[in-house]
């Protein structure tokens, strides 16, 4: 076992205490005052850890963002951590489901794995390096956002302006249940389908109406045929609303369709297929629009190279490093889409994101801190 791993294992209790503190801040994305309270705690942490500068990027609707920098003038490109402090859980969740630690060493609590565990790893790996006098002489940045759980709509411009300055972006989203990094994330696009028919009395003149629900039923079957799960594409009708009264031929349907794609090519192909839909029922009008989209984080040559270096560094410190694919998106999709080297899923091992059984495997915290600390010390951009 490596000396660094032993060092961080000796600090596991300290990590657990910090994680408990982070979970004790309830941070629903739109509860700005509450999110800012945790932001203030984070700012103090960055200061305690010797950040040379902390920039606040004020927000009106969501919590303020912070950009903390260590050694900004040191040679080389920065390594940038991306963390988000918001969670999907409304205020009061903690009272219903207080933080608890099971005898098998798993900590349960709202937001614990997504992503307060990953935040714990960033802070404790920096603290470990600082206490050992081993803070590497390279620029290290942390961008703290507050709206990832609503698709990073407010922080997106900041992510897009800050991350291209970095040589490597580390996304601290949770690892998988097997503690794997996420080296591939599917692209996600949501489509809104609006169908317009013509209302008519279902008893007196059904033939004079244009039935928007029948048109939708046709479209649902067509869209469902676009599924190609074997090759990574999923197309799912997820919401539908239509009709106005039990005795009226329905004149309107609004539906939403969730699509996932494994490559940029497939992502764009899906777009073409969705935009190419034509009405089936005579006279029906069909409108399809993409209401949000995140390109895939591809497991391309850049990703394979970053992962290989990460794995080599981890293994030299006695860690087992593995990779997996995720069907869900993260800010890693955005960063990868800009062509910036990125690694994702560097948070701790755990499970139950956005679910009642959300938990962190506590023994993985020192392992991830070891990996992060070693990467900060040893990462070589020329590899
Ligand atoms: Zn997250």
Beta strands in 187-299 (DSSP E): 187-196, 200-201, 234-242, 248-249, 252-261, 285-294
Contact 51/37 with Cβ under 8 angstroms? Answer: no
**Backbone φ and ψ of 312, nearest 5°:** -65, -45
Would you say how long the chain is, in residues?
Answer: 383
Distance 84 CA to ligand 1 centre (A): 7
Distance 375 CA to ligand 1 centre (A): 22
Distance 30 CA to ligand 1 centre (A): 15
Distance 379 CA to ligand 1 centre (A): 25
Distance 89 CA to ligand 1 centre (A): 12
CA 267 – CA 41 distance, rounded (Å)? 40
pLDDT at 357: 95
Distance 148 CA to ligand 1 centre (A): 7
Distance 176 CA to ligand 1 centre (A): 12
Sorted by where each starts, the structural domains of the chain and their CATH numbers stand as: 3-185+296-378 (3.40.630.10), 187-294 (3.30.70.360)
CA 254 – CA 57 distance, rounded (Å)? 37
C-beta contacts of 242-245 below 8 A and 24+ residues apart = 242/195, 242/212, 242/213, 242/216, 243/212, 243/213, 244/199
Distance 266 CA to ligand 1 centre (A): 25
Token representation of residue 145? 């956002």
Biggest alpha carbon–alpha carbon distance for the chain:
85
Distance 328 CA to ligand 1 centre (A): 10
Distance 248 CA to ligand 1 centre (A): 45
Distance 44 CA to ligand 1 centre (A): 22
Q: Full-prediction pTM beyond 0.85?
A: yes
CB atoms within 10 A of CB 206: 13
Distance 42 CA to ligand 1 centre (A): 17
- What DSSP line would sit under 103-144, residue for residue? TTSEEE-TTIIIIIHHHHHHHHHHHHHHHTT---SS-EEEEE
Sign of CA dihedral 251, 256, 261, 264: positive
pLDDT digits (tens, 9 = 90+) for 284-339: 999 999 998 899 999 999 999 999 999 999 999 999 999 999 988 899 999 999 99
In order along its 383 residues, the chain shows pLDDT tens digits of 699 999 999 999 999 999 999 999 999 999 999 999 999 999 999 999 999 999 999 999 999 999 999 999 999 999 999 999 999 999 999 999 999 999 999 999 999 999 999 999 999 999 999 999 999 999 999 999 999 999 899 999 999 999 999 999 999 999 999 999 999 999 999 999 999 999 999 999 999 999 999 999 999 999 999 999 999 999 999 999 999 999 999 999 999 999 999 999 999 999 999 999 999 999 999 999 999 889 999 999 999 999 999 999 999 999 999 999 998 889 999 999 999 999 999 999 999 999 999 999 999 999 999 999 999 999 999 99
pLDDT digits (tens, 9 = 90+) for 333-378: 999 999 999 999 999 999 999 999 999 999 999 999 999 999 999 9
């Amino acid at each position: 076992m490596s000396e660094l791993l032993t060092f961080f294992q000796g600090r596991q209790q300290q990590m657990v205490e910090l994680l408990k503190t982070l979970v004790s801040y309830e941070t629903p994305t739109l509860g700005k005052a509450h999110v800012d309270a945790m932001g203030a705690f984070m700012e103090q942490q960055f200061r305690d850890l010797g950040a040379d500068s902390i920039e606040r990027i004020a927000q009106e609707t969501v919590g303020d963002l912070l950009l903390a920098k260590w050694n900004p003038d040191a040679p080389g490109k920065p390594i940038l951590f991306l963390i988000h402090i918001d969670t999907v859980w409304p205020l009061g969740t903690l009272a219903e489901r207080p933080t608890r630690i099971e005898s098998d060493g798993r900590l349960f609590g709202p937001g614990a794995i997504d992503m307060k565990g990953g935040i714990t790893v960033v802070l404790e790996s920096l603290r470990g390096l600082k206490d050992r006098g081993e803070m590497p002489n390279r620029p290290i940045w942390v961008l703290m956002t507050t709206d990832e759980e609503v698709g990073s709509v407010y922080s997106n411009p900041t992510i897009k302006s800050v991350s291209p300055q970095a040589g490597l972006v580390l996304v601290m989203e949770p690892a998988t249940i097997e503690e794997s990094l996420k080296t591939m994330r599917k692209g996600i696009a949501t489509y809104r389908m609006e169908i317009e028919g013509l209302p008519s009395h279902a008893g007196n003149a059904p033939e004079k109406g244009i039935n928007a629900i029948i048109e939708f039923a046709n479209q649902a079957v067509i869209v469902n045929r676009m599924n190609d799960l074997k090759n990574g594409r999923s197309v799912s009708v997820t919401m539908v609303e239509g009709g106005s009264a039990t005795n009226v031929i329905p004149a309107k349907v609004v539906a939403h369709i969730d699509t996932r794609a494994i490559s940029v090519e497939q992502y764009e192909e899906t777009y073409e297929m969705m935009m190419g839909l034509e009405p089936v029922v005579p006279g029906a009008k069909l409108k399809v629009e993409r209401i949000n989209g995140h390109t895939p984080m591809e497991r391309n040559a850049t990703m394979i190279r970053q992962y290989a270096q990460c794995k080599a560094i981890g293994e030299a410190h006695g860690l087992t490093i593995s990779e997996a694919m995720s069907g869900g998106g993260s800010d890693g999709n955005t960063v990868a889409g800009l062509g910036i080297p990125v690694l994702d899923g560097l948070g701790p091992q755990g499970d139950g994101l956005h679910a009642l059984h959300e938990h962190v495997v506590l023994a993985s915290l020192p392992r991830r801190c070891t990996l992060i600390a070693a990467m900060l010390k040893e990462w070589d951009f020329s590899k």
